[in-house]
Amino acid sequence: MAKKNLQLGRAVKLPASPDEAKLDAVPNPHPNEDYLVRFTAPEFTTLCPITGQPDFAHLVIDCVPGRSLVESKSLKLLLGSFRNIGGFHEDCTLIIGKRIQQAIKPKFIRIAGFWYPRGGMPIDVFWQSGKLPNGVWLPDTGVAPYRGRG
């Protein structure tokens, strides 16, 4: 991919929706090595599709790249594009995971969406695709289970 097509290094407006967001792939400098890349978004926001009220999640995205990496600015723009649209927790989590999978075709990808309680109930959503290569360390997400105010 030519550098001129990347969103990196130039002003880019926040996409109005995930459908308008573009994920940029860049060449993996170590395509023959199996290693894990983790993106953490502790302040992900979207809107409840029924009430329009804000929903918040802590996302942890782990992937073992193949020939390409996700360029992080484009990922931030994709995540930000959810801020003003309505989406169920399950839908938002899987859209993000599948968009990354489609953009870079990783050997392995896992997304964990730890959603903050709404109506007294947290909803955690997990999705993965591919097989974790032997010898690759997949650390715990580091997100504690929801315990309320105790």
Asked if pLDDT for residue 149 goes beyond 90, the answer is no
| In-domain check, residue 139 | no
| In-domain check, residue 57 | yes
- What's 116's DSSP letter? P
**Candidates 55, 62, 63, 92; catalytic one:** 55
Neighbours of 35 (CB within 10 A): 13
Using pLDDT thresholds of 50, 70 and 90, give the confidence band for residue 3: low
| In-domain check, residue 81 | yes
Number of domains in the chain: 1
What was the pLDDT predicted at 120? 83
| Beta-carbon contacts of residue 20 (< 8 Å; ≥ 6 apart) | 81
Using pLDDT thresholds of 50, 70 and 90, give the confidence band for residue 129: very high
- What's 124's DSSP letter? E
Asked if pLDDT for residue 79 goes beyond 60, the answer is yes
CA separation for the pair 82, 10 (Å, rounded)? 21
Please report, for the domain that includes residue 98, its CATH number: 3.30.1130.10
User: How large is the average pLDDT for residues 49-78?
Assistant: 96
| In-domain check, residue 2 | no
**Candidates 34, 48, 91, 124; catalytic one:** 48
| In-domain check, residue 7 | no
92 carries an active-site annotation: no
What was the pLDDT predicted at 1? 42
H-type helices in the chain, by residue range? 72-80, 89-104
Percent of the chain exceeding pLDDT 70 equals 95
Predicted TM-score (pTM) of the model is 0.93
| In-domain check, residue 32 | no
140 carries an active-site annotation: no
Range of the domain at 99: 39-130
